[in-house]
Amino acid sequence: MEPIIPEDERSDKPLDTDEIIYHPDMKRANDWIMDEYDPPERNVCIFVPCAKKKPYHESPSHRVFDRVIFGILNPEQVHVVVFGTCGVTPRELDTLYPFMHYQFMLGKCNVPKIKRDFIKMESERLAHYLEKTRHKYKHRIAYCIGDFRKAMEKASEMVDIDVKIVPEEETIQNNIQPDKKFIYGSLNQKDYLQDFSDAITTKMGLERRTVAIDEEHSENDNDWYIF
């Protein structure tokens, strides 16, 4: 696959600081996705958070997400799109620069201005992508909590395109851990994953399935949340 940004055109600014959302190469790569990338037509698009381990599809969290997704759907039915610190990144591009190369995780940032800027920037990018793909997907599901969830909710409202966002609010409230730095915990929790599975089967008109946790494949990938 051709690089989005040729090596000799890349910025020398570091990719491992809390300024990552303003990084010129991250902006350029996202502009390319919005303006030039041609998304596939699929029955459902599933948005999942980015991960510390690269490429995303090899991270512990994404392995868990994939066990749910592809335990229900065939690859030809679904398009997986990553969002968060990376902006908006179709997962088949996750081995490309800069998505494969940045280190800083937004969940570790406690600078109010950066968090506010992230929600504004990410909601605008997501809204752009939702509009761009309005006729590409029949259904849209987003599996997210925290600031990522706020950005997706805002984006959906901005373009009036329905996105089923899970876990359900009731499930989140039932799993809040007030003694943790990130009170919502990990998306790898069984209750959250059950909501994720239910969203997929409901949208696709399939029979409900009970999520089973495989401890071998459910290790925490605490890259976008903080314990």
Q: Which pLDDT tens digit goes with each residue over 67-124?
A: 999 999 999 999 999 999 999 999 999 999 999 999 877 766 777 898 899 999 999 9
Counting residues of the chain whose pLDDT is more than 90, the rounded percentage is 80
Instruction: Estimate to the nearest angstrom the gap between the alpha carbon of 20 and the chain centroid.
Output: 16
Render the burial of 123-142: b for 16+ CB within 10 Å, e for the rest.
bebbbbbbebbeebbebbbb
Q: What is the pLDDT of residue 108?
A: 66
pLDDT above 60 for 9:
yes
Helix segments in 137-216, DSSP class H: 146-159, 169-174, 190-203
Give the pLDDT band of residue 32 (cuts 50, 70, 90). Answer: very high
Q: What is the pLDDT of residue 223?
A: 42
φ, ψ of residue 49 in degrees (nearest 5): -70, 155
pLDDT above 60 for 57:
yes
- By residue count, the chain amounts to 227
In whole angstroms, give the CA distance from residue 195 to residue 87: 24
Q: What is the pLDDT of residue 218?
A: 47
Give the chain's mean pLDDT.
91
Mean pLDDT for the stretch of residues 144-154: 95
Please calculate the CA angle 192-196-198 and round it to the nearest 5 degrees.
115
- Residue closest to 211 by CA, chosen among 194, 191, 186: 194
